[in-house]
Amino acid sequence: MCGIVGYVGNEACQEIILGSLERLEYRGYDSSGIATIEHDQLQLCRAVGKLSELKVKIKEKPVSGYMGIGHIRWATHGGVTLENAHPHLANSEVAIVHNGIIENYAELKKDLIEKGCVFISDTDSEVLAHLFVHAFREGCVPVEALRFVLSKIEGAFAFAAISKSNPETLMVARNASPLAIGFADEMAIVASDATAMAHLTRQVTYLKDNDYAVVTAKSCDIFNGNNEPANREIVQVKASPILLDKAGFRHYMEKEIHEQPDAISHTISAMSDVGGNLTAGIDIPSLSKIKRIVLLAAGTSFYAAQIGRYWIEKLSGIPVVCEIASEYHYRDPAATGQTTAIVISQSGESIDTLMAMRHAKNLGLDTFGIVNVADSTIAREADKILPTRAGPEIGVASTKAFTAQLVVLICLAIVLGKQNGHLDESRVTYLYQKLLKIPGAVGKTMKLFDPIRPIAHQLKNARSCLFLGRDMLFPLACEGALKLKELSYIHAEGFASGEMKHGPIALLEDGLPIVSFVSEGKMALKAISNLKEAEARGGYIIVIGTQVAVDLIDFAAAKIVIPDCEPIFAPIVGAIPVQILAYLTALEKGTDIDQPRNLAKSVTVE
């Protein structure tokens, strides 16, 4: 994680860099800082905590100059302290900002200390600053200094460095962590993503792995890992120049929950052609090549994958496996023939998912990406993109991106079933017509805030909570548990209802909250017996389902009624009450809803 920015141009850089850091705040909020150069002197301002702390500090003691770098930190190496906040300076000569992990920092640091370097922080990043100082003292020009530093370090990184001996030159490089360079008249800006520079320019170049560059206000020389000049395309990005606001809601999460009817209908449109036929945006030859699927993702996106697996196998008969991206990346999967890898990522930057996709590519698999951020690394590297149209998601807890991912997956499942004859035309039409009703059903769930409020009030005192579901509602139970733990810090786990008696039932004690999805139909009776067993052991039973389904559970302590929908779409509609439950419980507890402790929106470290 962490976000980095660098600016060189003809305007005072403090406010420009702060503006970029605001747009990068989703990447971390442990500390932040800015370093600038003016009159051959480095100036530094850093603060622990959110960016607002830096703004307060910098108001009292501004930094000046026309070139500078900035950083927003999500701590990896070294605690959350001022000393560990970036930028890191060495000998008041060089300042650096870094995103990623320098894996061989310990041996480099030992060597540099032996040479007389004094380290201030516990971070891995500080070695970069000392290596640059060493290079400049050896007489290197910026490009040589970059080559020297890159020859020494191993790991994942995107960094920017400035040196008072070269007060008009930014030195930048990347490997595995993202880095973009934006251009406009008489200025250049580098940042972890294009949104961070959208207030200045839309003309952007993305560095590739192992690229490095020497950037001034008027020039940009990019080199590849073989030290050859590299021509990287300049693209026009669509990122909004306007900072998103909360539109009257208390939190981005609350706003994003309410945006789901739109996110879902926009995503359905993206999955349909101009004639209103479902295509998932994939041509027929590509569709018919798909014989087996591996779904790769992390966190909430992984739970979307697991629901997608139920749908694809049910509607198309195509075998699907789901793999946690960080595990797949290091596995040697045995059977890969005719398998398509579909990676799912809101940000398109999760390093685990990106690495898993690259691993799949190396194994010879076609790669599809279900991605929300259109100009992200995964979106650029996947063979094909199935976009979610959720719009920018700022709250760390994923809400509208999750339901949009589900929409893409159900559309893909229907289209695959139609293509291979598993579904006949009338069934496809029926499902599509029912799918078009989902934005309306999700709209009705927004009325659930009031009925869920007393349940959240009750839940806030719980030490632990279980979520249960069967069939395609089992992964949704896991997603409900993840939402509750990341927002309210209450321990929560999701289980398949039928699995309780195989062990988890031992956890039951008086008053333990059990949130259970219940459905109509053949699974209902099984769910009732599982819940009866839990209630008999003191469980506080909260059920979520349609009116008909919850009416079957007359012993429930609380009921959350979702609007009627075709049962196969229940995971989409059922997602909203667990988001609301987690949101309201966090509100009761007073936790930091949009930026929960220890988390970041985009996880770019392994």
Least separation in angstroms between CB 561 and ligand M6R: 25
Helix (H) / strand (E) element for 206: namely strand 203-206
**Contact with ligand M6R (CB under 6 A) among 192, 347, 546, 604:** 347
What is the number of alpha carbons within 13 Å of residue 292 lying toward its C-beta?
A: 9
211 or 393, CB closer to ligand M6R? 393
19 or 494, CB closer to ligand M6R? 494
The residue annotated as part of the active site, out of 2, 45, 140, 478, is: 2
398 or 519, CB closer to ligand M6R? 398
- Partnered with residue 20 across adjacent β-strands are none
126 or 486, CB closer to ligand M6R? 486
Q: What is the DSSP letter of 121?
A: S
DSSP per-residue string spanning 1-68? --EEEEEEESS-HHHHHHHHHHHHGGG--SEEEEEEEETTEEEEEEEESSHHHHHHHHHHS----SEE
DSSP per-residue string spanning 268-318? HHHTB-TTS-B-TT--HHHHHT-SEEEEEE-HHHHHHHHHHHHHHHHHH--
C-alpha–C-alpha distance, residues 527 and 329, integer Å: 36
Site mask for ligand M6R (CB under 6 A), range 421-460, x = bound = ----------------------------------------
**Contact with ligand M6R (CB under 6 A) among 32, 192, 205, 350:** 350
Does 301 contact ligand M6R by CB under 6 A? Answer: yes
**Contact with ligand M6R (CB under 6 A) among 20, 163, 169, 346:** 346
- Contact (CB, 8 A) for 477 and 494: yes
Q: Segment 365-404, which members bind ligand M6R (CB under 6 A)? A: 396-398
Does 300 contact ligand M6R by CB under 6 A? Answer: yes
426 or 598, CB closer to ligand M6R? 598
Least separation in angstroms between CB 7 and ligand M6R: 27
The runs of H, that is alpha helices, within 363-448 are 377-381, 400-419, 425-435, 438-445
- Contact (CB, 8 A) for 100 and 157: yes
- What is the maximum span of the chain, computed from C-alpha positions, in angstroms? 80
36 or 177, CB closer to ligand M6R? 177
Which residues, in sequence order, are CB contacts of 15 under 8 Å at separation 6+? none
Count, residues in the chain: 606
Give the pairing of strands 540-545 and 558-561: parallel
Least separation in angstroms between CB 585 and ligand M6R: 15
198 or 396, CB closer to ligand M6R? 396
Least separation in angstroms between CB 402 and ligand M6R: 8
Q: For residue 248, count other CB atoms closer than 10 A to its CB.
A: 7
Least separation in angstroms between CB 417 and ligand M6R: 26
The residue annotated as part of the active site, out of 109, 255, 483, 601, is: 601
Does 272 contact ligand M6R by CB under 6 A? Answer: no
C-alpha–C-alpha distance, residues 241 and 250, integer Å: 23
Q: Which string of b and e fits 234-247 if b means at least 16 CB within 10 Å? A: eeebebeeeeeeee
**Contact with ligand M6R (CB under 6 A) among 31, 177, 205, 345:** 345
Least separation in angstroms between CB 342 and ligand M6R: 13
| Stretch binding ligand M6R (CB under 6 A), from 226-234, 343-351, 447-455, 549-557 | 343-351
| Stretch binding ligand M6R (CB under 6 A), from 44-52, 153-161, 342-350, 587-595 | 342-350
36 or 353, CB closer to ligand M6R? 353
Q: Which residue is associated with the tokens 């539109």?
A: 247
What 3-state DSSP class applies to 191?
strand
What is the number of alpha carbons within 13 Å of residue 599 lying toward its C-beta?
A: 21
DSSP per-residue string spanning 216-229? -SS-EEEE-TTS-B
Least separation in angstroms between CB 378 and ligand M6R: 8
- Contact (CB, 8 A) for 204 and 213: no
Please say if 2 is a catalytic residue. Answer: yes
How many residues interact with ligand M6R (rule CB under 6 A)?
A: 15
Q: Which residue is associated with the tokens 């632990």?
A: 464
Give the pairing of strands 88-90 and 180-184: unpaired
Give the pairing of strands 384-387 and 67-73: unpaired
Does 488 contact ligand M6R by CB under 6 A? Answer: no
Site mask for ligand M6R (CB under 6 A), range 489-528, x = bound = ----------------------------------------
Q: Segment 584-603, which members bind ligand M6R (CB under 6 A)? A: 599, 603
145 or 603, CB closer to ligand M6R? 603
C-alpha–C-alpha distance, residues 407 and 400, integer Å: 11
Does 353 contact ligand M6R by CB under 6 A? Answer: yes
413 or 603, CB closer to ligand M6R? 603
Least separation in angstroms between CB 373 and ligand M6R: 8
Least separation in angstroms between CB 575 and ligand M6R: 11
Which residue is nearest to ligand M6R, using beta carbons?
A: 299
Least separation in angstroms between CB 262 and ligand M6R: 19
| Stretch binding ligand M6R (CB under 6 A), from 154-162, 284-292, 296-304, 531-539 | 296-304
Residue ranges binding ligand M6R (CB under 6 A)? 298-301, 345-347, 350, 353, 396-398, 486, 599, 603
Q: Which residues are designated catalytic?
A: 2, 601
